[in-house]
Amino acid sequence: APVPGASSGRWKMWGDSTTHIKLSRPQSDQYVTPSLGFNVLSAHEKSMAFPHLTETIVIPNLAAPKTERGALPCLALKCESTVMQAKLCTIGTHAEAAAVLVCLTTTGVQLWEPLQGKKLASVAIPESDPSLSPAERQSFCKGAVIIPRAEGKHSLIVGTSAGQLHALEADNFRFVYDTKLEGYAHSYPISDVSSSHEASYLEQALPPQCTFATACEGGVICVWDASLLNPVAEMRAPGECITAVRLRANLCIASTVLGKIFIFNVDSRAIIADIQAHARACAAIAIHPLNLVIASVSEDTHWVVWNLDRVEKQEIEAIASGTVKDKMLCGVSFTGERGKDLHLAAFDSEYIFHLEGDPVPG
Burial 234-263 (b: 16+ CB within 10 A, else e): ebebeebbbbbbbbbebbbbbbbbbbbbbb
**Coil, strand or helix: which one is 210?**
coil
Read off the pLDDT of each residue in 106-127 and give the average, rounded to a whole number.
91
**Range in 167-171, 212-216, 251-255 with the lowest mean pLDDT:** 167-171
Q: How far out from the chain centre does Cα 362 lie?
A: 25
Read off the pLDDT of each residue in 35-39 and give the average, rounded to a whole number.
89
Q: pLDDT value at position 126? A: 83
Neighbours of 24 (CB within 10 A): 20
For the domain made up of 19-125+139-356, give the CATH fold. Answer: Methylamine Dehydrogenase; Chain H (2.130.10)
Confidence of residue 28 (pLDDT cuts 50, 70, 90): low
Read off the pLDDT of each residue in 274-301 and give the average, rounded to a whole number.
94
Q: pLDDT value at position 11? A: 46
307 pLDDT above the threshold of 80:
yes
Neighbours of 209 (CB within 10 A): 11
121: left (phi over 0), alpha (psi -120 to 50) or beta: beta
Confidence of residue 56 (pLDDT cuts 50, 70, 90): very high
Confidence of residue 1 (pLDDT cuts 50, 70, 90): very low
Q: Could you read off the pLDDT of 242-281 as tens digits, one per residue? A: 999 999 989 999 999 999 999 999 999 999 999 999 999 9
Q: What is the mean pLDDT of the chain?
A: 86
Q: pLDDT value at position 210? A: 93
The residue type at 303:
W
Read off the pLDDT of each residue in 146-154 and give the average, rounded to a whole number.
85
Q: Could you read off the pLDDT of 69-114 as tens digits, one per residue? A: 788 888 999 998 999 999 999 887 665 678 899 999 998 999 999 9
Q: pLDDT value at position 29? A: 67
Q: pLDDT value at position 128? A: 65
Dihedral Cα 234, 239, 240, 245, nearest 10 deg: -10
More confident site: 361 or 141:
141
* Percent of the chain residues topping a pLDDT of 90: 56
Neighbours of 232 (CB within 10 A): 14
Confidence of residue 172 (pLDDT cuts 50, 70, 90): confident
2 pLDDT above the threshold of 60:
no
Q: pLDDT value at position 33? A: 85
30 pLDDT above the threshold of 70:
yes
Helical spans, DSSP H, in 227-308: none
Q: Is 120 exposed, middle or buried (0-12, 13-18, 19+ CB in 10 A)?
A: middle
**Closest to 25 in 3D by CA, of 75, 79, 78, 83:** 75
